[in-house]
Structure 1
Amino acid sequence: MSRRFPLLLVSLLVLLAGCASHQPDEDSSARPDTEAVFPVTIGSVTIDRQPTRIVSLSPSATETLFALGAGPHVVAVDSQSDYPPEAPHTALSALSPDPEAIAGYRPDLVIASADTNGLSAALAKTGVQTLVMPDAKTLDDAYAEFVELGKATGHQAEGESLARQTHSDIDKIVADTPKPAKPLSFYYELDQTYYSVTSKTFIGQVLARFGLTNIADGNDPSVSGGYPQLSAERILQANPDLVFLADSKCCGQNAQTVAARPGWNTLTAVKDGQVFALDDDIASRWSPRVVELVRAVADAVTRVNHAG
């Protein structure tokens, strides 16, 4: 996907952790799946044969590739792809991709979330295809991209199964979560400067499945592309029932640091112990681990219901 500013900010903060670098390995290519049917066309890209040396420049795609069973074909992933642990982590940048460095891994397919700085054209000169998989804007988009990545890598059946299972798991979690006796409002924090998400974003739509009211929506959920910067005054005035922190890993935010902010100890969410720290990575990706995000929100809503 094309990165929106707040998610770029979170990504850049995560980059500080760094990842170990791997050199190209002559023996790392996996044998192609003889049952795979090629060529396949994904968007405007036609893949003639099953790729056996894949470079992923998208953390969401990396997680999905391994969930599909295509992990043995992945020879390098970008510095932000920190899951699963067995992924071949490198110093490759997804934000400022270096075609020469990428080509050094001798890929036969590169997967990226955006065609940054003409990456596709640059790699095409070396005979390498680039498949751009934009960040999902809805859950349905995510399911569709599971299927597309499956087709592109010779794992179409697995992609279709993964999409069905993820859809089913999310529907069941939502259905099994007790509905609040009264409407609950929430504030979703991307960083300490109060960037948030509206219901028009992928994450906002996930939370909307629980019937929660998003204080960032205001009169226009499309404002700032769905990623508005709120003010402390606006948040205090809205007095949300729940606070979700998607800046816990990058920035050390938790219930205690939120309560220590000037005036925030008066918020219902703080007074009632309803500030919930999320895993930053899971909360910013459209991979199959979105199920874990849905489960975390369900647990929070259930806890609030029981407290009430």
Structure 2
Amino acid sequence: MLALVLSGLGAGEARADSRCAIDDRDREVCLEAPATRIATLSPGATELVYAAGAGGKVVAVVAYSDYPPEARQVTSVGSHTRVDLEALVSLQPDLVIGWITGNPAEQLETIEALGVPVFYIEPRSIDSVATTIERLARLAGSEAEGNDVAAEFRAGMDALADEYAAAEPVATFYQVWDEPLMSVNDEHLIGEVVRLCGGVNVFGELSRLVPRIDDEAVLAADPEAIVAGGMGEENRHWLTHWQQYPGLTAVARDNLFFVPPSLIQRPTPRLLEGSRILCEKLEVARGRR
């Protein structure tokens, strides 16, 4: 059945309005014409395509693709960890947006082998969020809107960086998960945001992008501020865990902060809003010295 559905994909002659862009695996992906039926295989990819001005072309998403709200009405074809390939292909996408480290590599390779172009993304810096929007807009033929969104995002992040350029440093622990306990290093996008806000990531020098740690490591680092994120929007209970350690500077000064993870853990334009919140939290910590 799957082969029958795929039999007509990829057909057609080259056209003058072909579009090309370099993806995050450094491959040039070319389309004969701007994409008209896009499948996004992560919540972040969904949000980025909408930001690029191509939301009306999205025909397939995966679980937790909840922003913007209209994305919830698009057909879901599974989760980012396991896509229903037959359901995906039945929607006849002419472009699939894949997540390098989040989607199963074998599934993305199968999609490509069957004739559907895959554009791989993995934004790992503030600027790469903007460039991803621009590249997606190029492939979708929505450059005017996508480039405006990218420029607005860059300007906002630059203004925030200027505002906190001279801020006094705050030793910060960003908790990205609870079981197992996990943080981020300085190479991570969140680590870049912490630096932008004048924070010093207490686990920034660890080699892993998302290192596993334990309570003892946090106690030894003694951060001045603890910031929690997570998968959902209500993880404040993660912060109550640290109250059992009244000797921690962050606990003693009540510098236990929550930032909605969808605003800071997805590499999308809403990172600007999440960064503003994080910067404000660290400014609160400075005022409690």
TM-score range, shorter chain: 0.7 to 0.9
Distance 1:81 1:207 in 2: 26
> Is 1:229 matched up with 2:216?
no
Distance 2:201 2:207 in 1: 13
> Is 1:90 matched up with 2:76?
yes
Choose the corresponding residue for 2:267, options 274, 278, 286: 286
> Is 1:102 matched up with 2:88?
yes
Cα 1:178–1:143 change in 2 (3 A) is closer
What aligned pairs does 1:45-124 form with structure 2 within 5 A after superposition?
Answer: 45-87=29-71, 88=74, 90-114=76-100, 116-124=104-112
Structure-2-length-normalised TM-score: 0.83
Structure 1 counterpart of 2:139: 152
Choose the corresponding residue for 2:125, options 132, 138, 142: 138
Runs of 5+ unmatched residues, structure 1: 1-36
> Is 1:188 matched up with 2:169?
no
- How far has the Cα of 1:259 moved from its partner? 3.8
- How far has the Cα of 1:210 moved from its partner? 2.3
SS in structure 2 at match of 1:110: strand
Distance 1:156 1:255 in 2: 41
Distance 1:167 1:305 in 2: 26
Aligned partners of 1:245 and 1:254 also within 8 Å: no
Distance 2:145 2:34 in 1: 15
> Is 1:247 matched up with 2:230?
yes
Aligned partners of 2:63 and 2:80 also within 8 Å: yes
- Please list the CA deviations of residues 137-188 of structure 1 after superposition, one character each: whole Å capped at 9, or x if unmatched: 211222211110110111123222222211110111232348444x310111
Cα 1:274–1:230 change in 2 (3 A) is same
Distance 2:241 2:232 in 1: 14
- How far has the Cα of 1:251 moved from its partner? 7.2
**Letter matched to residue 40 of structure 1:** R
Distance 2:108 2:165 in 1: 47
- Please list the CA deviations of residues 210-243 of structure 1 after superposition, one character each: whole Å capped at 9, or x if unmatched: 23211113xxx2512x221122112112211111
Aligned partners of 2:255 and 2:285 also within 8 Å: yes
Distance 1:286 1:248 in 2: 14
Cα 1:272–1:254 change in 2 (3 A) is farther
**Letter matched to residue 130 of structure 2:** Y
> Is 1:307 matched up with 2:288?
yes
Distance 1:294 1:304 in 2: 15
**Letter matched to residue 190 of structure 1:** V
Structure 1 outlier segments of 4+, above 4 Å: none
SS in structure 2 at match of 1:249: coil
Cα 1:222–1:47 change in 2 (3 A) is farther
**Letter matched to residue 283 of structure 1:** I
Distance 2:161 2:109 in 1: 43
SS in structure 2 at match of 1:86: helix
Cα 1:124–1:105 change in 2 (3 A) is same
Aligned partners of 1:110 and 1:128 also within 8 Å: yes
Structure 1 counterpart of 2:9: none
Structure-1-length-normalised TM-score: 0.78
Structure 2 counterpart of 1:128: 116
Aligned partners of 1:177 and 1:302 also within 8 Å: no
- Please list the CA deviations of residues 103-159 of structure 1 after superposition, one character each: whole Å capped at 9, or x if unmatched: 1222121111136343344334554222212x2121122221111011011112322
Structure 1 counterpart of 2:5: none
**Letter matched to residue 55 of structure 1:** A
Q: Cα RMSD over matched residues?
A: 2.3
**Letter matched to residue 241 of structure 1:** E
**Identity percentage of aligned residues:** 26
How many matched pairs? 264
Choose the corresponding residue for 2:257, options 265, 276, 279: 276
Distance 2:84 2:144 in 1: 33
